[in-house]
Amino acid sequence: MSSGHLIRMGHSNRPQTLEAVQAFCDAIQQPDPALVLFFCSDAYDLDLVATELARRFTDLPVLGCSTAGEIGPMGCLDHSISGVSLSRAGFTATVGCIDSLHEFEVTDGKAFVDEQLRRLNRSTPNADAQNSFALMLIDGLSLAEEKITRSLQNALGRIRLIGGSAGDGMDFSKTLVYWNGTFQSDRAAMVLISTPLPFRIFKIQHFRPTSERLVVTAADMSKRLVTEINGLPAAQEYARLIGVPVDALSAEHFAAVPLLVLIDGTSYTRSIQKANPDGSLTFFCAIEEGIVMRVAQSEDILSNIQQSFAEIRAQMGPPALTLGFDCILRKLENQRLGLNSDMSSIFQHHHTVGLNTYGEQYCGVHVTQTLTGVAIGDARV
């Protein structure tokens, strides 16, 4: 099966909201779509975005979020809207929404997922882990990603979940998820997608652990706050470990030298959001007291992603579509190194649509400074 007629990608950076949304909608229009996914800068009038999308796509699942940058056919941009529509001829999709994330309990995930699976199986009775995956968008400032991701993945079983945390540029003020005609904070939405096309779920990070170990000796997990590392003020000890003065710590240092934790034999990045005046560190992920982490050493970010995509192509051929969730800290690193154009070209070559996030989800784990996603191919291999 060729996927060329099944997928329509769009990307617009027109400065006026209505013109941008209309150009995007025109690009992804197709006769019988099963789903629309979009990623939108909050520099636009999001109420107007919501109104226009609801007008253009009636009786159709439309899922999206605000971003810290958009990825699409035009590459990596700010102040744009990107996205994709998927045809019913090649895809089945069901979407469910969780509002009031602060009230969500881990046990709530099973009932939510079971309902989505029942809906999917009514239209695709043979849906399973071989032909289906789950994708989630979530409020990036909710501090709820860990419990939501873990709960949904446990309920999904072998069907794997990937996703991204919504952003708002570099403001860290209000992040929004769109579903059923409105943008809302404190919200997550999950779509189950089934397709006969080949696909590969992936996690790409360009860091490896060094021998430098550290122990979190005091933390407030609910606030993602670490107050002590190795029994010393967290910011002071982190600064010592990376060899800079504590009062010089900046977002560039956090992007260049994150920390890694080992989970079931796999390294996951634990990135720092900011250093606080009281000497504590705020992370993008929850950190428990007693956890052992290692200082990360960076590999070449371009070579790393090129190699990773080469492995995907070797497994399933060239992607017809890659849905990608790329951390804001990776974007900052690309900017610092002058690699924006190179990264845009790589994403365009692999037909990537997605966003820069405040965090990523991969198979039940909330991560940062990572590119997660799914590559969808043209034919079975």
Residue 380 has pLDDT above 70, yes or no: no
- pLDDT for the residue numbered 381: 40
- What's the pLDDT score for residue 210? 87
Report the alpha-carbon distance of residue 285 to residue 263 in Å, rounded. 14
The token pair that represents 257 in the structure block: 């030298």
- Whether pLDDT at 216 is above 60: yes
pLDDT tens readout for residues 219-266: 999 999 999 999 999 999 999 999 999 999 998 888 888 999 988 778
pLDDT of residue 5: 81
Q: Residue 211's pLDDT band (boundaries 50, 70, 90)?
A: confident
User: What value does the mean pLDDT take over residues 67-78?
Assistant: 98
pLDDT interval class at 111 (50, 70, 90): very high
Neighbours of 363 (CB within 10 A): 16
Average pLDDT value over all residues in the chain: 94
Question: Pick the residue with more confidence: 111 or 380?
Answer: 111
pLDDT tops 70 at residue 349: yes
Residue 201 has pLDDT above 70, yes or no: yes
Question: Residue 196 above 60 pLDDT?
Answer: yes
Would you say 272 and 254 are in contact if contact means Cβ atoms under 8 Å apart?
yes
b/e per residue 90-125 (b: at least 16 CB within 10 A): bbbbbbbbbeebeebeeebbeebbeebbebbbeebe
Please tell me the distance from the alpha carbon of residue 175 to that of residue 67, in angstroms, as a whole number: 8
User: Residue 379: is its pLDDT beyond 80?
Assistant: no
> β-strands 187-194, 259-263: how paired?
unpaired
